[in-house]
Amino acid sequence: MAEGIALFDVYRFNPEKDSGPHRKKYEVELQKNMTVLDGLRQVQERRDGFLAFRASCQGGQCGACAMRINGRVRLACETRIETLGKHVIHIDPLPNLTVIRDLVVDMGPFWQSYEQIRPWLSPDVHHVEREHPQAPGDRERMDAYTGCILCGACYAVCPAVRRTPWFVGPAALAKVFRFVADSRDGDAGERIEALNSHAGVWGCDTTFCCIRVCPKGVPTTHAITAMRRKLVMKKIKGILSLIPLERESTTG
Ligand code: SF4
Ligand code: SF4
Ligand code: FES
């Protein structure tokens, strides 16, 4: 039995047909514990079969259904309509990415950034031929960074991405740190050095917006500041290593 009606106010745009974006309103018959994704499916089945959106797992695991709901970027399959506390629900595509159609955006720039950072383990050459178990403490150091489902929510809200499209963005940087913190990886130094620029760790404004929207609680900004600290420490060590030489040369 229906538990009332909500009004979905949805962004619509088909670049092949429409001169510009517009909005359409749809009544949604509410059921108990219904999510925004359930509502969008109902609209598609009963009212408008042309409405386009992405979704797959329906359980917060695939990252496909990230969108802006009442102004906040989140997963549609994890957002229960009753928690929104409003009769009218405004639904928009992810910002910072080009709309392909309606709520579907081109994730290309997000994936390109991700590929750039070599998101795979590069084992230390001494360890490739044998099993390399991790102590619980080693595992804990990287745990918080392993939960990313690549939904793109952090990338979509990042002001640095909006301003500087070549900035790799928070998800890619957190993934780098996941390998930097991995005791089995042999490439930590090169990984961080490759991001020692404004396209990398120095491009971030430290606004923490990415952490606020992440559905998996990945501490993206902490990863960025940790890598900055490592780069600064390396620089300081380099400078300090020169000091005895300078003394010798002035006293010699
Ligand atoms: S903290 Fe940095 S990476 Fe995260 S949203 Fe802000 S500018 Fe982007
Ligand atoms: S870090 Fe969080 S918000 Fe960003 S892509 Fe991964 S899961 Fe999504
Ligand atoms: S449908 Fe997979 S995360 Fe929402």
The pLDDT of 30-48, averaged and rounded, is 97
Tell me which residue range forms the domain holding 230.
108-238
CATH number at residue 177: 1.10.1060.10
Q: HSE of 234 in the Cβ direction (CA atoms, 13 Å)? A: 12
* Centroid of ligand 1 to alpha carbon of 67 (angstroms): 18
Verdict on whether the full-model pTM lies above 0.85? yes
Residue 90 and residue 112 in one domain: no
What gap in Å lies between CA 104 and CA 52, rounded to an integer? 6
| Residue 192 near ligand 2, beta carbon < 6 Å | no
Last residue of a domain, one of 105, 138, 166: 105
**Phi and psi dihedrals of 17, rounded to 5?**
-120, -35
The pLDDT of 59-69, averaged and rounded, is 98
| Residue 216 near ligand 3, beta carbon < 6 Å | no
What gap in Å lies between CA 110 and CA 159, rounded to an integer? 14
| Residue 150 near ligand 3, beta carbon < 6 Å | no
Does pLDDT of 241 surpass 50?
yes
Total tally of structural domains belonging to the chain: 2
Model pLDDT for residues 228-239, shown as the tens digit of each residue: 999 999 889 888
**Helix (H/G/I), strand (E/B), else coil: 51:** coil
Residue nearest to atom 7 of ligand 2 (CA): 148
CB contact set of 52 (below 8 Å; sequence gap of 6+): 100, 101, 102, 103, 104
CB contact set of 176 (below 8 Å; sequence gap of 6+): 117, 191, 192, 195, 223, 227
Computed over every residue of the chain, the mean pLDDT equals: 93
Tokens of 80: 């229960």
CATH number at residue 72: 3.10.20.30
The pLDDT of 79-93, averaged and rounded, is 95
